[in-house]
Amino acid sequence: MMALSKKMLEDEPSEVELLLPWHAAGRLNARDTRRVEDALASDPALARQYAVIQEEYAETIALNESLGAPSGNAMQKLFAAIDAEPERRPAVTAGWAARISGFFSELSPRTLAWSATVGAVIVVAQAAVIGTVLMKNPSGSFQTASLSMNEPVVRTLSGAAPPRALVRFAPDARVADITALLDKYQASIIGNANGGMFRLQFGDQAMSRDDLNSLVNKLSSEKIVNLAVPAS
Partner 1 sequence: MQVLYGRHHVRVFRFGLRLVRDEQVAEDLISEVFLDVWRQAGKFEGRSAVSTWLLAITRFKALSALRRRKDLELEDEAAQAIEDTSDDPEVAATKKDTSAALRKCLGGLSREHREIVDLVYYHEKSVEEVAEIVGIPENTVKTRLFYARKKLAELLKAAGVERGWP
In the complex, the smallest distance separating the C-beta of residue 85 from partner 1, rounded to whole angstroms, is 7
Tell me if 188 contacts partner 1 by CB under 8 A: no
| DSSP, residue by residue, 151-177 | S--B---TTPPPPEEEEEE-TT--HHH
C-alpha gyration radius of the chain? 31
Q: Are 140 and 173 in contact (CB under 8 A)?
A: no
Return the C-alpha torsion angle 61, 64, 66, 68, nearest 10.
-130
- How many residues line the site for partner 1 (CB under 8 A)? 47
Region from 1-9, 16-24, 108-116, 149-157 binding partner 1, contact rule CB under 8 A: 16-24
- Residues 57-96, one symbol each (x = binds partner 1 by CB under 8 A, - = not), give x-xxxxxx--x-xxx-xxx-xxx-xx--x-----------
Site for partner 1 contains 8 (CB under 8 A)? no
Distance of alpha carbon 199 from alpha carbon 219, whole angstroms: 13
Strand order in the sheet with 164-169: 187-192, 198-202, 164-169, 225-231
Measured from the CB of residue 88, what is the shortest distance to partner 1 in angstroms?
9
Judged by the rule CB under 8 A, the positions of this chain that interact with partner 1 are 13, 17-19, 21-22, 24-28, 48-49, 52-53, 55-57, 59-64, 67, 69-71, 73-75, 77-79, 81-82, 85, 171-177, 179, 192, 196
